[in-house]
Amino acid sequence: MANAKKVWGGRFQKPTAKSVEKFTASIHYDKRLYQYDIEGSIAHAAMLAKQGIIAKGEAEKIVAALTAIKKDVEKGKIAFNPSDEDIHMAIEKELISRIGDTGGKLHTARSRNDQVVLDVRLFLRAEIDNVLSLLKALQSQLVRSAKSEIKTIMPGYTHMQKAQPVLLSHYLLAFWEMLERDGQRLRDCRGRVDILPLGAAALAGTSLPIDRSYTAKLLDFPQVSKNSMDTVADRDFIAEFIFASSLVMMHLSRFCEDLILWSSDEFGFVEISDAYTTGSSIMPQKKNPDVAELIRGKAARVYGDLFAIMTLLKGLPMAYNRDLQEDKEPLFDAVDTVKDCLQIFTEAIGQTKFNAARMYAAAQGGFSTATDVAEYLVRKGVPFRESHEIVGKIVAYCIKNKKTMDELLLIEYQKFYKGFTADIKESIKLEKAINSRSHKGGTATAAVLERIREIEKNSGNI
């Protein structure tokens, strides 16, 4: 009989072309959803029995067989092949081959259209938790580094030009803040993932007396979806997750860009551990920051995943369309990439040595405390625009005479403004410049330590 083995084969006269089987199959990648598919089916069977749609004994048989199938998949005992089409069909086929007609009752009041969304939601809910703990681990590492580098002074940059001195800890905690927002976004997204889709069936629900709240309770979903058509058409939660992941990758990529620059001979600000760098096949002296470069590169992959999902969705008519099968590879890729990158970056940053002496020396150059001189004059009553002009002239004088502001004599300062007094020398010290920025969010040691205390208090366990 044509298509005898296909669960949907009833109306077909000819077998599916081999090329079509291969082309339409998603089993080679959606097989990673197997545990969620089985978990969802177990809950569904229990609900069907509770509602009297199938017999209790039948549900027990189904649940026992599904549990055994799960173990066998884990042991690699079940071979999936393209004729199985997707993980839902593969498991159902296996079930029916084990328990016969009873197995055929599992798909009552359900369609693959709501089933696949269920699997993906269960998968993503778990993976978001994994990403969140990796984010937290990186944040903890940053706090540890910020504490141990609390005395390290570096030049802060704008336009990639030396701007003002800052604490390295302040720099590190800037990334902590970015990752904190990433965590907030992911938790927010998780709330929209955590919704039971089952019951929507193909698109219009079912005439059978299901109890969706019961299934939701079994699967620990706080909500059930509100519209059956939206339920099978919606992939917003995937797009949201990939967007949130894109931002995580962007943050890591920016951090990596600094580390790549800083590990160059020209900067010499950091030394990434040998264990997290690689060599060149031709130049024996090379120690390359490949891990950081690859993370920067992999940000592009995740942006690609985001583009794929956004483009996939934009022209789809209501409700389910097979195009939606293309949602999983970008999602899986984004999950895997963001997790890998967070993991390895956390390891690498923990093994990176900061060269405090080089950073300090660099912070001393470039007239990085010129703004402090301008603010010194403001304290003497000079309007800021005027003091800016005066200090600009002092800088030009220093450049012309090959002097630093530290080397200028008081009388030289006074040539530009009579009110300069001896304390100007103190005002342009890096430590003084840093510690005078003691307001909330500033780079003063006290302000940074205060932020660390706040972070530790709020997260309890860092």
Q: Which residues bind ligand ARG (CB under 6 A)?
A: 26, 86, 112-113, 116, 322, 324-325
We find the least distance from the C-beta atom of residue 168 to ligand ARG, in angstroms, to be: 48
Write 357-361 long-range contacts (CB < 8 A, 24+): 358/267, 358/268, 358/269, 359/152, 359/153, 359/154, 359/155, 359/168, 359/269, 360/152, 360/153, 360/154, 360/430
Contact 334, 251 (CB under 8 A): no
- Judged by CB, which is closer to ligand ARG: 277, or 325? 325
- Judged by CB, which is closer to ligand ARG: 54, or 232? 232
| Backbone φ, ψ for residue 352 (5° rounding) | -95, 135
| Backbone φ, ψ for residue 130 (5° rounding) | -65, -45
We find the least distance from the C-beta atom of residue 232 to ligand ARG, in angstroms, to be: 9
Burial of 239 from C-beta contacts in 10 A (0-12 / 13-18 / 19+): buried
We find the least distance from the C-beta atom of residue 35 to ligand ARG, in angstroms, to be: 16
- Judged by CB, which is closer to ligand ARG: 116, or 200? 116
Q: Which two tokens stand for residue 173?
A: 């905690």
Instruction: Indicate the SS3 state at residue 88.
Output: helix
Q: Which letter does DSSP use for residue 15 in this model?
A: P
* CA end-to-end span of the chain: 64
- Judged by CB, which is closer to ligand ARG: 14, or 322? 322
Q: Which two tokens stand for residue 5?
A: 């083995």
- Judged by CB, which is closer to ligand ARG: 84, or 372? 84
The whole-angstrom separation of Cα 58 and Cα 319 is 32
- Pick the closest to residue 319 from 437, 232, 237, 207 (CA basis): 232
We find the least distance from the C-beta atom of residue 325 to ligand ARG, in angstroms, to be: 4
Burial of 271 from C-beta contacts in 10 A (0-12 / 13-18 / 19+): middle
We find the least distance from the C-beta atom of residue 112 to ligand ARG, in angstroms, to be: 4
Contacts of 88 (CB under 8 A, 6+ apart): 37, 112, 115, 116, 119
- Judged by CB, which is closer to ligand ARG: 226, or 322? 322
We find the least distance from the C-beta atom of residue 26 to ligand ARG, in angstroms, to be: 5
Active-site residue list: 159, 280
We find the least distance from the C-beta atom of residue 12 to ligand ARG, in angstroms, to be: 14
| Conformation bin of residue 408: beta by default, left when phi > 0, alpha when psi is -120 to 50 | beta
We find the least distance from the C-beta atom of residue 116 to ligand ARG, in angstroms, to be: 4
Peptide bond into 356 cis (omega under 30): no
* 271: β partners: 353
- Judged by CB, which is closer to ligand ARG: 84, or 182? 84
Question: Secondary structure of 231-242 in the HEC alphabet?
Answer: HHHCCHHHHHHH
Contact 69, 52 (CB under 8 A): no
Q: Give whole-number Cα distances, 276 to 189, 340, 397, in Å.
A: 33, 14, 45
- Judged by CB, which is closer to ligand ARG: 239, or 249? 239
Q: Which letter does DSSP use for residue 352 in this model?
A: P
- Judged by CB, which is closer to ligand ARG: 59, or 117? 117
We find the least distance from the C-beta atom of residue 118 to ligand ARG, in angstroms, to be: 11
Q: Which two tokens stand for residue 250?
A: 């962007």
The whole-angstrom separation of Cα 316 and Cα 313 is 6
